[in-house]
Amino acid sequence: MIKTINYLFVTFFGIGSFRFAPGTITSLVTIVFLYSLFHIINLPSKIVLLILFIIFVYSFYAVSEYIKFKENKDPKEVVIDEFIGQSIPIYLYEISHGTSKGSEESVLFYLYIFILFRFFDIKKPFPVDFFDKKFKNSVGVIMDDVIAGLYVVLTLIIFMVIKSKFL
């Protein structure tokens, strides 16, 4: 039973088993999921944070158990890390400035976040590549995407600063 739950969790309900671009599809589903929580259900940001925190903490155990007997310690089907990495900039965008976000603005920023996250996740600039190469366990699987998500946050902050100063 726990093995099945872990499989569904680490593959994001089987999306990781898709043949074509499971990480990208997971990132898109993450956008829809978080947009729904913030803009359709209007769930308070503290509840969303609690959900994301539980997923983050449990992912270390679930990924560790899933890859325990696998030769490849970062299998393609494990995509919960994409969900986590993509969630960081979206959550921080939603709570930024303490203002409510319009649906159109949010869709646009979610698109920027998606593109930037996929770029950093694929290109793996330092220290993303460090975690990807040095840690062949659940820490490496998850933390490279966390760092990629933080790169997205940094990029958006730099963009907003430049925009406010020069445009």
Integer Cα distance of 34 and 131 in angstroms: 26
Q: Which of 149, 128, 130 is nearest to 56 (CA)?
A: 149
DSSP string, 85-127: HHHHHHHHHHHGGG-PPPHHHHHHHHHHHHHHHHHHHHH--TT
Q: Can you give the pLDDT at residue 127?
A: 83
Number of Cβ within 10 Å of residue 59's Cβ equals 23
pLDDT band, residue 64 (cuts 50/70/90): very high
Q: Does residue 96 have a pLDDT over 90?
A: no
Integer Cα distance of 11 and 9 in angstroms: 6
Read off the pLDDT of residues 24-37 as tens digits, 9 standing for 90 and up: 999 999 999 999 99
- Percent share of the chain, pLDDT over 90: 68
Task: Pull the structure tokens for residue 156.
Answer: 């958006």
Read off the pLDDT of residues 104-152 as tens digits, 9 standing for 90 and up: 888 999 999 999 999 999 998 888 778 777 777 788 889 999 999 999 9
Integer Cα distance of 24 and 79 in angstroms: 9
User: Does the bond joining 127 to the residue before it have cis omega, within 30 degrees of 0?
Assistant: yes
Integer Cα distance of 75 and 93 in angstroms: 30
Q: Can you give the pLDDT at residue 97?
A: 66
Mean pLDDT of the chain: 90
Q: Within 13 Å, how many C-alpha atoms sit on residue 85's CB side? A: 34
Task: Pull the structure tokens for residue 111.
Answer: 């698109």
pLDDT band, residue 156 (cuts 50/70/90): very high
Q: Domain residues for 121? A: 2-166
Q: Can you give the pLDDT at residue 164?
A: 84
Report the number of distinct structural domains present in the chain.
Answer: 1
Q: Which residue did the predictor score with more confidence, 37 or 164?
A: 37
Q: Does residue 74 have a pLDDT over 80?
A: no
Q: Which of 36, 162, 51, 49 is nearest to 106 (CA)?
A: 36
